[in-house]
Structure 1
Amino acid sequence: MDSMKQMAKPFFTLFGIALIIAVIGRVGLAIMAATGALAFDYISASGVAILDVICSILTGSAFVAFLFAAGLALCLSTAGPVLYGYLFAKKGGPARPLTAFLWGWATALMAIVCLLIVVSGILSAVQVGSMSSKLPGAPVLVLALVVFAAFLGTLLGAASMVVCACIARARAGHSLSAQLLAATALCGAVVMVLTVGTFATLNSVAINTTALLAWFAADVAVNLVVLFAAARMARAPRAAAAPAKAKATAA
């Protein structure tokens, strides 16, 4: 029974984080529904947003398999920042923006690879052949995936550094649960706004390239701001604790 009580706070914190993400996601969906970014009708012959066309091929078992693939990619993307924070807490070393970004990049790239491995088994040979004929060569696709993974790496790197900042503030006497819940709400709201804007621009019949690039640039800029701001917060409690420790040693 004592072990249950000891585990209660961490688990309730986890549940709270999940609920916050669910509510923020629901708000984002409501915004997209109100602005017409989401399609609720059947696929028609023409005038269909590009993402609706892509998703229309996922029917029956293929759709279920894609859910598994997407879930695997999301689990890995979530585990990366958690692992980075765990290593920061365990080893006590400094949390560096560069390492957070690089491991975020690597995590995103591996998530994409896992996604492609599963997805390659849910498309028929005819579908693969049809898509291959409309896509650029393999080197271009590989480069595009690496660049896209780097884009996602800024987000995962920022998430990793936010986790480290929460841990650092917990060492300074703040509640870790409260820090994680507050960070989830604040950062989640920012990510939701950026995701809604990017998705709405991408999911259109005729994509406005300039607007889409502007949203991607905004995504990267905000991710980098959060990354370096969280890194500074992660160092601040440690820097503040150093004089106190030196004073106690001298006494």
Structure 2
Amino acid sequence: MGTELKKSAPAFLTLFASALIIALLGRIGSKVLDVTGALGYNYRAATAPYLTDGLTTLDKLPFTMTGGTLVGFIFAGGLALCLATATVLLFAHLYPQKGQGGIGAALVWGFASAIVAFVCLFIIVLGLYSEVLLSQMTKGGGGSLGLTLGMLVLAVGTLTAAASLVLRGALVKGAESSRPTFVWVIATLAVCGAAVCALVCICFSAINANPASPAAIAGSLGAACICNLVMAFAGVRLGK
């Protein structure tokens, strides 16, 4: 695995560094817009968490958004999704042959991608709210915010690794099969995508509960991690 990581390290590190630079530029840009008065803030959005104590953290977010914060969230979410997608595509590109790109390498780069994605999210989103506002928004989490973030990193990391291995496996299978490659890619996407959609619904329900239950969050995200690992091993087998 060490050889595989050395081979792919320059490409992945370049990708991660690019994402961090873009996030920092976005944070600087939002600060400049704030200082120059180009971003507007309204009183209702700034005080909404104080008026919505009965809502969950995720339900409070729409009440706190102005035009500027909405654009910031779209930018941050888009950057994180682009990073995850680029990680999957880059992995499949760097390990196109049988016997390459094992589950160890996929997990390393999957977790690295997840960590960088969350760092980028924090860089951008934390610049959109004050500390008081963030405290009010998250106080309904029942002390489970740290657990949720940690489990989300695990879930996203294993999901990225699974997607990388499944895509690589489908491409390898397509190159050897009489069926077109796109058939293998679409088929694996449909099967794995359906499983991921179901898991997202379960995890969202647990995270968005009020009050949030640490046991439910850990259980749902833990189940997601296990399912992701099952898909990862299936991708390895598909590519053999």
- TM-score, normalised with respect to structure 2: 0.69
Tell me the equivalent position of 1:184. 189
- Do residues 117 (structure 1) and 123 (structure 2) align? yes
Query: Could you say if the C-alpha distance between residues 208 and 128 of structure 1 is closer, same or farther in structure 2, counting changes exceeding 3 Å?
Result: closer
Contact 2:169 2:235 in 1 (8 A): yes
Tell me the equivalent position of 1:49. 56
> What 5-or-longer segments of structure 1 have no aligned partner?
1-41, 236-251
Rg comparison, structure with higher value: 1
Tell me the equivalent position of 2:161. 157
Query: Could you say if the C-alpha distance between residues 147 and 234 of structure 1 is closer, same or farther in structure 2, counting changes exceeding 3 Å?
Result: same
Deviations 1:11-45 (A, max 9, x none): xxxxxxxxxxxxxxxxxxxxxxxxxxxxxxx9974
Query: Could you say if the C-alpha distance between residues 226 and 132 of structure 1 is closer, same or farther in structure 2, counting changes exceeding 3 Å?
Result: closer
Tell me the equivalent position of 1:22. none
Higher RCO structure (Cα 8 Å, ≥6 apart)? 1
Give the SS at the match of 2:204: helix
Residue of structure 2 aligned with 1:172, choices 161, 170, 176: 176
- TM-score, normalised with respect to structure 1: 0.66
Q: Distance in 1 between matches of 2:213 and 2:84?
A: 28
Tell me the equivalent position of 1:101. 107
Structure 2 residue identity aligned to 1:164: R
Tell me the equivalent position of 1:200. 205
Give the SS at the match of 2:101: coil
Percent identity at matched positions? 32
Query: Could you say if the C-alpha distance between residues 191 and 129 of structure 1 is closer, same or farther in structure 2, counting changes exceeding 3 Å?
Result: closer
Deviation at 1:46, TM superposition (A): 4.3
Q: Distance in 2 between matches of 1:126 and 1:112?
A: 21
Structure 2 residue identity aligned to 1:168: V
Contact 1:108 1:149 in 2 (8 A): yes
Residue of structure 2 aligned with 1:82, choices 77, 80, 89: 89
Tell me the equivalent position of 1:10. none
Contact 1:101 1:154 in 2 (8 A): yes
Deviation at 1:148, TM superposition (A): 3.8
Deviations 1:214-236 (A, max 9, x none): 2112101100111111101111x
Deviation at 1:132, TM superposition (A): 9.8
Query: Could you say if the C-alpha distance between residues 153 and 125 of structure 1 is closer, same or farther in structure 2, counting changes exceeding 3 Å?
Result: closer
Q: Distance in 2 between matches of 1:220 and 1:156?
A: 11
Query: Could you say if the C-alpha distance between residues 200 and 162 of structure 1 is closer, same or farther in structure 2, counting changes exceeding 3 Å?
Result: same
Query: Could you say if the C-alpha distance between residues 231 and 106 of structure 1 is closer, same or farther in structure 2, counting changes exceeding 3 Å?
Result: same
- Do residues 73 (structure 1) and 73 (structure 2) align? no
Deviation at 1:56, TM superposition (A): 2.8
Give the SS at the match of 1:66: helix
Query: Could you say if the C-alpha distance between residues 217 and 120 of structure 1 is closer, same or farther in structure 2, counting changes exceeding 3 Å?
Result: closer
Q: Distance in 1 between matches of 2:206 and 2:131?
A: 31
Q: Distance in 2 between matches of 1:208 and 1:120?
A: 24
Deviations 1:90-116 (A, max 9, x none): x66512001101100001111111111
Which moves more between the two structures, 145-154 or 76-85? 145-154
Contact 1:109 1:145 in 2 (8 A): no
Give the SS at the match of 2:239: helix
